[in-house]
Structure formats: C-alpha cells, structure tokens
Chains A and B, each alone.
Chain A
C-alpha cells in the first residue's frame, strides 16, 4: 500500500512516466503526516494520498479525490459523523473513519 503514496502535488500536469514513478524518499517533514480530519470546518487543503482509506480508496479516487486536488472540509454532521467535503465543485459526505485516513499537505499558515 505504501507504494501508492505520492510526494508531489503537481503531478497532474506531468507525463505518464512521472505519474507512475515511485515517489522519492521524503526528507522534508518526515513525521508531518496531516489528516483531512485535522482541518477545521471551512478549511481547504491539498490532497496528498487517499490510498490508505480502507476499502473506499478506489471509490474516492474515481469520484475525484486524487492527489493534488484541493478539498474543503465543510462541516460535521449534527451527530459529529459523517463529514461533508467539497471537492471539484461538488459536495460529498464520507465518514470520519475514511476522512481520517486521507492525507493532506500541511499548509503554511501565516
């Protein structure tokens, strides 16, 4: 599963070869894995990897949650779960258990 992780957020414009290539070892922010659930409601981040979401990865990627895509955590449902996301211009609801496994790029807050 680890192989599916990507280290770049710009690969969408890259040729096939690069898309397929094994990510280089990450030296920067080694332990800075940030989950989508770490976002505050209303915050947006760039998706880094969804392959860890158990069972739903294919579905989520087919629905456009690919690496490099901006995603906004819109809100939590009244009972705290599921969450509502906005991605590629539409709204999607997934459970926290999946959202937790979606890795996003840490943002530079200033």
Chain B
C-alpha cells in the first residue's frame, strides 16, 4: 500500500500523488526519460526545443502515487523564452507555491560542464535533487569517462547513470525516485557556489526581501539574490509573476541597484558574477569527476556536417531533401491509395446489398462512407509525410536547417529559430505554432505564428492529391521529375513564397521598434533514428489525424447528406442532378455562386469551401458526399473519376478543367481554413487581434490568388 503522503503545504485533498519534475538542458533526453518512466509516448526529437509545455504522467512500476512532469528544456534558471519560463517557474516556486517534491535533473554526460550549470542551480534550490546522468553511451564514444560517485560527492546529490533511449538504468532511476519521494525529510548538507562573508553582507537586504516575498527556502534566497545581482534579465521573471505587484518589484530593483553600487565602490564587477563563480565551481567538479581517456578525434557528426552545412552542398542538399520528400509522397502512396479506394468501394457496394433500400442505406453509403472514405484514401500520403518529417526531427537535421536558413530568414525579419516551427507546420500548423514558444523575441514569434498556416499542412494534402490525381497527367519531365510531383512541389513553394511576403508586410505591424534578439542555437550531434520509434510516432500522429478529422468529417458528412438530399423533389422523374439543385445545399450554393464564379468554382465547390472552414480536408469529403447523393444512379466508383466526368448540366462542358483544379489548389494554399489554428493562435497570443488579422489577410490572399490564376489562365486561353 502507498504510504500516507505528508505535505508541508496544505493542498487539495483530492489528489494525493507526489509531484516529481524533470528538468535539464534542451535535448538532454528528458522526454526520453519521461516516456521510459511513464510508458507514454510524448514527442522526442534530436533538436533543442521539442517539448514546449508541461506534460504529466504517472510513474510506472511504483506502488506510490507519483506524478512525473516533463518540462521544456532550459540552460539556466534565468529564462529567456516562454518555454523556459514555464519550466523555471514550476521548479523555483518564483511565481507560485509549486509543490514539487523531487527535482530530477537529466544531464547529457557527453556535454557535462554546460549541463552542470543548471544542475548546480537546481541543487541550490534546497529541494531534493536527483541527477540522472544520461547519454553515457555518447560520452564514451567521445572518449569521456565520468565517475558518478565523484560527481555525487562533489554535488552532494544522488546520481543515477542511464542511457535513456536504450532503457539502461531506468529501473534504478525508478526505484531511486520512489525512495527519495518517501524520505523527503532526510537532511543533506547542501552544496552551492561559495559566497564569502563580504559578498553575503552585500546581498543581505536583497535576500531578506526574497525571504519575505517568496516561497524560496532560506538557502535558495542567497543564490537567487546573486542571480538578481548578476544579470538584468533575472528580475524580469519576478515582475512577470503573480506575486510581482509592481511596487514591490521596484523595491527589489532598488535593493539590487544598491548592492551593485557597493560592489562597484569596492572595485569589483557585478556583471555575470553568478556565471563566473558557477563555472569556476563546475570546472573544479569536472576536474575531479571527468577523465578524457582519449583525445577527441573528428566525430562522424562533424564529418557529416562537412557536406550537410557545406557552402555549396549544404543548400543543395536542403532543397534536394524537400524536393525528394514531396516527390516520393506522391509516387509511393499510389499503391496503398488504390487499395484503400477499392476497400471503400467494396464496403459500400457490400453494404448496399446487405441493407434494405431506404434512408438508412442512403445515409450510410452516400453520407458517412462516402465522406470518411474519401479522406481515408489520402492517409498513406499523410503518413509518408509524417514519416519523413519524423526522420528529419530524429536525425538532428532540423537544427542544421535553422543554421543554413538563418541569414535568409533575417531578410523577412525572422531568424533561424523560426525555421523549426515553420518546418513542423508542414505536418500541422498547431504544433508549429506551439513550437514558436522557443523564439525569444516577441515580434519574431508573432510573425512566425502569423505565417505558419501558409506552410502547406497535411490536411491540404488530400485536396492537392485529389486535384492533381484527377487533372495532372502522370508524365515525366527530364526523365526523373514526375509532373504530379512537381505540381505538388510548386504548391508547397507557393505557400513558402506567400509566407515570406507576408512576413515582410507583418514586420511593420508587429512591434517594429523591438530590437532583434540574438540567434543562439545548439547544433546537436546527428543521431541514428530508431525505425521502431519513428514508425510509432507516425502511427500516433496518423491515429490523431484519423480520429480528429474523422469526427468532424463524419458529423459534417451526415449534415451534408441531409442538406443535399432534402427537400426531395415533388416530381419523382426529375434527374438527380436537377433534383440536387432544389435541395437546401443547392439553394445555399447558388447564393454564394456569384462570389466564387470569378475564381472558376461552381456552387458545389462553394459548399465545399464553406464546410472546409472547419478543416481543410472536409472539402474532399464534402465533394464526395454531394456527388454521391447526386450520382446515386451512376456507378463510377472513385471521386477522381466523378470529378473528371462532372458536366455542367446546362452547357454540357466539363466543370473541372486543369485550370479550375489549379485555382482551387491555390485557394487552399493561401486560405486560413482551420478552426484549430484560429483557436491556438488566440491562446498563444492571448487576444483576438492576431487570429482575426490572420483570417482576414489569408482569405484576401486566397481570393486574389485564385482570381489571378483563373482569370489570367482564361485570358491566356488555358481554360
């Protein structure tokens, strides 16, 4: 049975589990440890800044109720971006009386001295600390031998040596966590940077203020005081917090100022004092616990970078990688796509024979199955896209992409930091927008959020694939490039170009006066991705895509089926294409037709445009439902064929020409048709201002873009 949990602070009774926080430098392997401890599958990637919010889970294999919190990475307790602030606040108790029972610091052993910076800061907080010394395999490969016992002695904390991605040392870590949660009152001699008496006297007033105004422990207030003394950014996180009522913080600022004056008068420097003292201590620790058993040679990673970030090959490889991805998405998905198409067709014909004719059969086959099936067909392409993006994230190439692109991004008022969120937006803008939390400058962050939805996301893929599959002939250019692949590539390219242009324009709005912040980014060593893990992540993301999209689409398809079926025409003999015109959907469509006619769209596409504002892929299911209801008496199977055969009932001309298809795709590249994106922008920017601007500017772009394509194309005689 779990031991009764004793608490120092009164907290709500309903939840008795003990909180354990995982902190560490970015990319030190915290989430890998978290997944191993909890059995969950949070996102792991080989670049700094994968985790940007707190994720929690229960510790497996312990009979104590222990809750583990995975936090964003940080280099120090002085946060310089939003994600770091989240982590720092939780463990310092600066802004709230957080109740973290144990801090597990995950440190990258192959990079020990820099990792120890945060470790030593954590030790000084006065809470129980456990050091999980990770990546020992990588350290050994580098020729570094670490003595965990010596480290434990120097720091006065327990150390568990692990290799998280191989599961080595995880059982020991698990039992050590349980043990430490139980014996929380065990006294330890606490270590920290040395402060001499003179310095202590100078810091005393600041320290007393902190003791009064925060939940920091007695000893922790000293170290926070020296942190405040050493850098101006440190006080900002006090001002930002809940208990940072402005008058009080100005009091604090005065105390700091006075302490600085004292030091200056004594001919001592206060700038970066903490950092200097801390690294002096760290270098002492390293001398006692780290041994270089062999001189470091040029690593495999460095050799790879000779090509991958090479002056000429670097950018070439960058372009080649993405071109290949979008080409293969199209080529490889063909076979599974056909299989799913046939399966869907088989299901509906089978159901038709099983179920009696009538409303239920009609609703199921022409509503639900047509709608959901139309999307399922494109699942292989989406999965290939996820697969390639996961590979890029796992290898460490993302950080190189940021390195290569920084100079280029600066032209658009951004930095290399924006590259990773924008590349993630190729999968989905929602995580992409979340990832902007790692961007330090508010201005750059806002611009990145605003242009992220212009990156073609996986939900657009079904629309592109449908149109390209139906109207772009599968010919080859120059022997290697397939025309459909190139068309797809140009849609992605159009989105990127529009994003750069928009960033230029937004620069003026989003706080033009703000000084550009520095671009400081770690380039982690390349790692071999685990195929199993990559496939698991693809599976996980695909599942989310299917369930999320599935729910919307199912509901939407049923509503649409109703709208496109009723009212039934009085005259039974009227053809179904005439009948649909009189239904609710038909009436609605004809109202908006004048607006979209200049873009080359008919009223059915208009209905699709409306429904796709919920989510883009809904267009495909909308068209499928409408054509199915309408063409109930035909027997063309696939949606692609239905589009090709669709004729204007009055003129007998095909409704879809390649030009219409391109115009429709351009609309989808540029339009903001995604409720989740709007909701996340609202949440991340804390106002309606930016989401509204986003909807406005993107809709305008989309309309004008399509108009130019269709009218221009018609003028040139391509209609």
Contact = CB atoms under 8 A, between A and B. Distances in A.
Q: Do A and B come from one complex?
A: yes
Interface of A: 1, 3-4, 11-14, 16-17, 19-22, 51, 53-64, 66-67, 69, 74-82, 84, 88-95, 97-98
Given A16-B199, A55-B515, A62-B78, A90 B114 contact: yes
B420 to A, nearest CB: 13
B349 interface: no
Contact of B233 (A58, A66, A77): A58
A13 to B, nearest CB: 7
Given A55-B518, A78-B404, A90 B76 contact: no
A77 B233 CA distance: 29
13 contacts: A3-B264, A4-B269, A21-B267, A53-B518, A63-B114, A64-B113, A66-B276, A78-B310, A78-B314, A79-B407, A79-B408, A90-B522, A98-B520
A14 to B, nearest CB: 7
Interface residues of B, number: 60
A73 B408 CA distance: 21
A63 B194 CA distance: 20
Interface of B: 75-76, 78, 80, 110-111, 113-114, 117, 142, 144, 194-196, 199, 230-231, 233, 263-264, 267-269, 271-273, 275-277, 279-280, 283-284, 296, 302, 305, 309-312, 314-315, 399, 402-404, 406-408, 416, 515, 517-525
A61 to B, nearest CB: 4
Nearest to A66: B279
B84 to A, nearest CB: 11
Nearest to A57: B272
Given A58-B231, A64-B113, A93-B403, A22 B275 contact: no
A56 B518 contact: yes
A59 B271 contact: no
**A-side interface mostly:** mixed
Interface centre among A51, A57, A66, A80 (most CB of B within 10 A): A66
A51 B312 CA distance: 34
A53 B199 CA distance: 27
A59 B75 contact: yes
Given A16-B194, A20-B268, A63-B75, A89 B142 contact: yes
A93 B305 CA distance: 13
A22 B267 contact: yes
A10 to B, nearest CB: 11
Contacts of A64: 113-114, 117, 279
Contacts of A53: 518
B520 A63 contact: yes
A12 B284 CA distance: 8
Given A3-B264, A82-B407, A59 B111 contact: no
A90 B28 CA distance: 12
Contacts of B402: 93
Given A21-B268, A61-B272, A78-B314, A13 B283 contact: yes
A3 B268 CA distance: 8
A77 B275 contact: no
Contacts of A61: 272, 275-276, 279
Contacts of B267: 21-22
A64 B276 CA distance: 10
A94 B275 contact: no
Contacts of B117: 62-64
A77 B269 contact: no
B309 A78 contact: yes
Contacts of A90: 111, 114, 522, 524
A91 B523 contact: yes
A19 B276 contact: yes
Interface centre among B272, B283, B284 (most CB of A within 10 A): B272
Contacts of A56: 517-518, 520
A16 B114 contact: no
Nearest to B440: A59
Contacts of A89: 110-111, 113, 142, 144, 296
Given A60-B520, A89-B296, A93-B416, A4 B272 contact: yes
A51 B272 CA distance: 8
A56 B230 CA distance: 14
Contacts of A98: 518, 520
Contact of B80 (A12, A59, A77, A95): A59
Given A22-B269, A57-B272, A78-B404, A92 B518 contact: no
A51 B403 CA distance: 24
Contacts of A69: 279
Given A55-B515, A62-B78, A16 B277 contact: yes
Given A66-B279, A77-B403, A78-B310, A58 B521 contact: no
Interface centre among A1, A78, A81 (most CB of B within 10 A): A78
Nearest to B523: A91
A80 B407 contact: yes
Contact of A59 (B264, B518, B523): B518
B369 to A, nearest CB: 50
Contacts of B302: 74
Contacts of A62: 75-76, 78, 117, 275
Contacts of B309: 75, 77-78, 84
Contacts of B284: 13
B523 A92 contact: yes
Nearest to B522: A92
A19 B314 contact: no
Nearest to B108: A90
Contacts of A88: 111, 113-114
